[in-house]
Amino acid sequence: MQIIFPEYRLGSMIPPLFHTMLCIAFLMPRIGPYKLANPVALAPMAGVTDLPFRRLCAEMGAGLVVSEMISSNPRLRDSRKTAWRSVHDFEVEPRSVQIAGSEPLELAAAAQYNVSQGAQIIDINMGCPAKKVCKKAAGSALLADEALVKDILHTVVKSVDVPVTLKIRTGANPGERNGINIARIAQDAGIAALAVHGRTRACKFEGEAEYDTIAAIVAATEFPVFANGDIDTPEKAAAVIRRTGAAGVMVGRAAQGKPWLCGQIAAHLSGETIVSVTPEKQFAILRRHLLALHDFYGEFMGVRIARKHVSWYLQGQPDYRSHRAAFNGLQTPAEQLQQITQLFNIDRHKEIAA
Ligand SMILES: Cc1cc2nc3c(=O)[nH]c(=O)nc-3n(C[C@H](O)[C@H](O)[C@H](O)COP(=O)(O)O)c2cc1C
């Protein structure tokens, strides 16, 4: 794995005792034949974790990145969105591709298709509450039907010779927290690793993530479990690992506009001192991100997709709203690059939250 900013990972030669103990306490998670470089995964996020963003996060130290979900419906394979989501050129290995659907045979066919396109891990989405997925009783809506979950998992695992992982929530709603049952079904089906977002489907993104439910799932199973939900700092990641006993953490929203966050968390978990990301470095990363978006999506869509990412990078800066509004009015890649150059020059000497 290429680390573009090695100074992020420079740590003290003698880590504090706590860190040393933490390092010894967990082994690097293994997913089938793939031993991860560290236990920090970037969560799949539709519309966010596209190839340009995944590559940045991986280069800056994420131990695993997962594609945005790809529908199992073969009729959507030629759609522009699915085509973009299916590109894995120059992806950091192992290439994990998430599929979403509700029909066991269709999901198995989708798994086979994506393996034929280069996927090295197939991830099944039973964690996403998005309407478009759930209207078809896919994503986290499947959790309410354990027999169907069992059928899907056995069918998909048997259909491919790469590891299959699963992403779930803790249940359909607070009255039906069947995450432990689902995890046991997954283990029996031969699932290689599990990511658990510590909320039920009905809880959406509200309330506290249920780390104790994740701890119970970890205790009930043998395979690597990634704890997910509200992890936004290296310290929180360490606390979640201590509390849940999980093999790793999965980080979603907090990484938006901070492609260095997974790497910082990994550094902290291995006892290294975290070096904050200076505004100059943020500018260099953002510039590279913009160039990659313009290149990947083409000028028209690249300019539009860049807007939300730039908005996340700028969050917390002085005059955030006016800068964002100005940026959103720009129509060409050259204007966007010029604008961020000006912005970061203006703010060169101001502290930006890392
Ligand atoms: C914009 C957005 C898109 C998401 N898309 C997916 C997806 O495609 N597949 C999936 O399994 N989860 C998806 N999720 C859920 C995240 O992977 C993750 O479980 C959730 O955001 C909780 O983690 P966090 O608190 O670190 O953000 C999405 C979340 C967000 C915010």
Residue 4's pLDDT is what? 31
Output phi, psi for 80, to 5 deg: -60, -40
Q: Counting Cβ atoms within 10 Å, is residue 139 exposed (0-12), middle (13-18) or buried (19+)?
A: buried
**Mean local confidence (pLDDT), 258-281:** 94
Residue 354's pLDDT is what? 45
* 3 state DSSP class of 325: helix
12 CB-side CA count, 13 A: 9
Task: For residue range 2-43, list pLDDT tens digits in order.
Answer: 333 223 333 333 344 455 445 435 579 999 999 999 999 999
Q: How far is the CA of 346 from the centre of ligand 1 (A)?
A: 33
Residue with CA at minimum distance from ligand 1 atom 19: 197
Q: Counting Cβ atoms within 10 Å, is residue 7 exposed (0-12), middle (13-18) or buried (19+)?
A: exposed
Residue 224's pLDDT is what? 98
Q: Which residue has the tokens 């800056």?
A: 60
Residue 213's pLDDT is what? 97
The residues spanned by each domain of the chain are: 6-269, 279-346
At 130, the pLDDT band (50, 70, 90 cuts) reads low
Task: For residue range 135-180, list pLDDT tens digits in order.
Answer: 566 787 899 999 999 999 999 999 999 999 999 999 999 999 999 9
> Per residue in 35-68, is it b (16+ CB within 10 Å) or e — as a string?
ebbbbbbbbbbbebbbbbbbbbbbbbbbbbbbbb
Active site residues: 128
334: CB partners within 8 A, 6+ apart = none
* Full-model pTM: 0.90
Please give the Cα distance from 160 to 90 (Å, whole number).
23
**Mean local confidence (pLDDT), 241-253:** 98
Please give the Cα distance from 303 to 328 (Å, whole number).
9
Task: Confirm if 194 and 166 have CB atoms less than 8 A apart.
Answer: yes
Residue 249's pLDDT is what? 98
Residue 132's pLDDT is what? 58
Looking at ligand 1, which atom is closest to the CA of residue 228?
23
Please give the Cα distance from 62 to 1 (Å, whole number).
10
CATH classification of 6-269 is 3.80.10.10, yes or no?
no
What amino acid occupies position 179? G
Residue 91's pLDDT is what? 77
Q: How far is the CA of 8 from the centre of ligand 1 (A)?
A: 26
Residue 135's pLDDT is what? 59
Q: For the chain, give the percent of residues with pLDDT over 90.
A: 75
Q: For the chain, give the percent of residues with pLDDT over 70.
A: 87
Whether 350 shows a pLDDT value over 80: the answer reads no
Integer CA distances (angstroms), 288 to 57, 109, 263, 305, 335, in order: 12, 36, 17, 14, 15
Would the CB of 152 count as within 6 Å of ligand 1? no
Would the CB of 251 count as within 6 Å of ligand 1? yes
Would the CB of 129 count as within 6 Å of ligand 1? no
**Mean local confidence (pLDDT), 130-134:** 59
Residue 24's pLDDT is what? 39
Task: For residue range 184-239, list pLDDT tens digits in order.
Answer: 999 999 999 999 999 999 999 999 999 999 999 999 999 999 999 999 999 999 99
Please give the Cα distance from 127 to 186 (Å, whole number).
14
Question: What mean pLDDT value characterizes the chain?
Answer: 88
Residue with CA at minimum distance from ligand 1 atom 26: 252
Residue 134's pLDDT is what? 54
| 203, two tokens | 């809880």
* 3 state DSSP class of 27: coil
Question: CB 198: neighbour CB atoms within 10 A?
Answer: 25
Q: How far is the CA of 43 from the centre of ligand 1 (A)?
A: 6
Residue 26's pLDDT is what? 52
